[in-house]
Amino acid sequence: MILTVTLNTALDITYRVPALTPHASHRVTEVTERPGGKGLNVARVLAALGHDVTVAGFAGGDTGRTLHERLADAPHLTDALTPVDGATRRTLAVVDSATGDTTQLNEPGPLVSPAEWAAFLDSYEELTRRPGTAAVALCGSLPPGVPVGAYALLVRAARAAGVPVLLDTSGEPLRRGVAARPDMVKPNADELAELTGSHEPSRATRDARRRGAHAVIASLGAEGLLAVTPDGSWQAAPPVRVHGNPTGAGDSAVAGLLSALAEGLPWPDRIARAVALSAATVAATVAGEFDAATYEDVLAKVTVRGRDSAP
């Protein structure tokens, strides 16, 4: 079982309009709703790959009830979300059909009380100690009320339980979480630059390792992934540039890394899978899903190159 943690879960709502024009009324042609937040996106991809996943975090209010309902019948998914009094946030994406551009509006999330945070910690520690827990993913932003050092605490708890832990967040939560020595961090180029002060990916990934992360897997957009690990350094990219919607591509990369870790695959195979899933997510017709045919095609063709720089 793989455990994904989404402290700031969401109900993702997507509106599609013929063209988005400021200061105008719009006729919506299509509406979709689904559970969201980075860790839930990761869980969805892991489940599609056939892995059993438990989702943890917070859910409350009417939107929280909708999350529970949508998760109830999902194959390979177990709902372990902790209840809160506040309402789970909504994220609203407006897709302009004419251009393909997406405008995103994100609510901040519910205020989490100290008692609710303590209840989550008890549940999280029990889940990490459960036999068969193969890995933990800590993903996304923090809702109001959750301490900024939350991920550092969760990293240490997973490591104390002997479970590999991947951290995917940004800003101060990332800085503090890295200091707790997670097994993997997966920042994008901007997050990595903010953490290290360097915009040169090779230098920045090495610096992030020196700050505490055992392995750093940096998302470089169309340039693929750069991984600096205790076992070596590699870079991989799709064989051709994939066009489409990049929403959720980073979450799919996390799912690729975790699934390959759970299967005991070596680093080059983990990186290849992460790149292929990320590219397949860009190519999918629905944001945050992945196109199976593109995944298989890219996985067969992606090249993972070792790098000479020392990890």
- Give the span between the Cα atoms of 19 and 41, in whole angstroms: 27
Say which of 251, 291, 297, 308 is annotated catalytic.
Answer: 251
Cα separation of the two ends of the chain? 30
Identity at 125, one-letter amino acid code: E
- Give the span between the Cα atoms of 201 and 222, in whole angstroms: 14
- Give the span between the Cα atoms of 231 and 91, in whole angstroms: 39
Give me 94's structure tokens: 């407006």
Give every CB contact of residue 173 below 8 A, 6+ residues apart in sequence. Answer: 141, 142, 148, 149, 150, 151
SS3 track for 84-125: CCCCCEEEEEEEECCCCCEEEEECCCCCCCHHHHHHHHHHHH
How many other C-beta atoms are found inside a 10 Å radius of the C-beta of residue 53? Answer: 25
173: phi then psi, degrees, rounded to nearest 5: -60, -35
251 is a catalytic site residue: yes
Catalytic residues: 251
